[in-house]
Structure 1
Amino acid sequence: MAGTTATDPGVTALGAGGNDGTMRAIVRSRYGGPDVLELATVERPTPAADEVLIAVRAASVNAGDRHLMRGSPFLVRLIYGGITRPRSGPLGVDVAGRVEAVGEAVTRFEPGDEVFGDLSTSGFGAFAEYVCAPEDVLASKPAGVTFEDAAAVPTAAVAALQALRDEGGIRAGERVLVNGASGGVGTFAVQLANWFGAEVTGVCSTAKVELVRSLGADHVVDYTREDATESGRTYDLIVDTAASHSLSAYRRALRPEGRYVMVGGPTSRFVRTVVFGPLLSMTGTKRLTNLMLRTNPEDLAFVGERLVAGDITPVIDREYELTDVPEAIRYLEAGRATGKVMVAVRGPNEGGDLAATAASDRSETSAA
């Protein structure tokens, strides 16, 4: 990463971090499964003029991490560089931590501020003790919100928000179907749709029915027993995080003027939605589209406000330490995760176990 040196007068810093200018990070030198990831000691980055240096306290695992790790689909290699081997640094999209240093052009933050954000447009790197990021991909972490909860929302909750509000045009009183309601995006989509005043139906497996109901779903469909697209019930908006049916099946389940928004699922179905969604939308009054996530501090702040108000609560499936990121991604790939899979990051001078780190964060935020 381009940036200034640690002694550059354009950098304002707290002086924290390893005295030798290094940090621990999850790196890889080739594409492949979780076994290609390893914990290494690397040079600690320094912020460019418009960047801040973050001491990472928590990160979360997303589907994008596994795509970058494997270099699949091949389009990932074309977009992010490295046709035969990866050229980008550590993985990790969602981050929460403390600002340790700021570049000379930074105006929104100063050392000591607590922040959270989405690094997908700025080089990734949350699976490390430190990461640099432009200030415009970050928001201030609200007081009373733990680092863990803040790191759970930048991708999943913002994706749910943009799918419902921006692409879906959700209105109070509408019928909304969330397919994949127990996943990372789905758990937030159920809660936010409820907050918007919609009548929410969530689709999930048998074991997760009660969880989805507890998140605010008015109705829950167990996909092992019933096909939500063939029940005869129709919806104003379908938010699809699983892409488990054809576009024609979803189209049949829409009411007149209904909207379908694909958020996640197999790459082949994503491509079909991109290609055929607009064509199907041209015939009749129903609209089928896919979400292209847009990183911005305004939406980060919005979901932060919903966290503080208790309108949304992250569902945390498992927590891993930085050393166990390969296992965290392996678990996510297995498709068993409910809600979010988290990574807790401790600095070189922090001891204790993962539970103690999380407890410390909660005590700090409750005292604020």
Structure 2
Amino acid sequence: MPVWQSLLYNHIIPSIFDAAVMLLLVLIVFTIFRVKNPATRFVFLFLPMLKSFLILLDNPSQVQLLQSEKALQKVLRFPDPLNLITSPLNEVAEFSYSSDAVVLVLLVTGVSVLAVIAARWLQLFLFFNNFSREESLSRSEYPQVYDILDRLVPALGVSYPRVVISNLYQFVPFSVGYRVPIVVISKEFLAEFPDEQLEIMLAHELAHMRRKDYLTSWLTLMLRDLMFINPIIHYIYNKLEDEKEKACDRLALNVTSAAPKTAANMLLDVALFYSKQPVLQHQTYPMLAKGLLLRQSKLEHRINSVKQSQRMKKSSYLRTLLRTTLFVLLVYVQIGVIVNIGGHNIFLR
């Protein structure tokens, strides 16, 4: 099979199809079972992104050997997880090329795309890494910040973060780093907000650390960039970011015992503060500061989530086990159809 047909029929189309169907399935589950917990919603919204990537890598040639005159065949498949890498490599070896020029164009295009993606990741990594060299916030000058952290860190069970000053970015605090967590904040921001609101913001950043969001953010970002051709993945990525922030809002409320109204007012005040800051051009902004409160729709959803947080119940161990089992099964099992179009089989699953 020519390389472009193999990539299109065996990988790109099935990957887009899976992302759309799995997203629809997840949204239906949310509606039927009234899933409101943002942490649970985050896990299941990650499902279509992960499975779409696995299908993008998967080689369904074994399934396509089932020849039939039917235009539509139902298939239930249990792929071999140990064959995830070797199977695509075997498929590459079977590609047919019409000329050496085609090989050269494909090679140059693939390398160029990967180079652009890698450069983007490197730029973002260097942006975050630069904060490790920033000046630390003085405990003697801002004792209220460290007093708040002294209370919140043990309550959330996270490592004590290093607080650094950002003289360039004067907007909402954000956290970076995994082994050595860092909270970035500006003096202008500290002067603008009272301690009650500052405590909720710092609790929100510590919640990111507890949830290991620095790692999951990198993972979802990489999956989105590698599947840049899939529009469904971009939508899922934005939904994951929203649910992640809502989950941290909920943790912050639980650990601070703040009233939902106080947290909602804090979100509005931060949005107003951020809207007054000049936008610096040609800079790579952290995801939190760039899109957290910029859109009115996102702000409204977060405020509504904060108001509903008191009505959320903690999941039982049995529910957690059932959800985990369902997640694993949905990732592993492939249920789909083989569609014959123009003599070519496309395994949509």
> TM-score, with normalisation over the residues of structure 1?
0.22
Structure with greater Cα Rg: 2
Larger RCO: 1 or 2 (CA < 8 Å, sep 6+): 2
Structure that is richer in strand per residue? 1
> TM-score, with normalisation over the residues of structure 2?
0.23
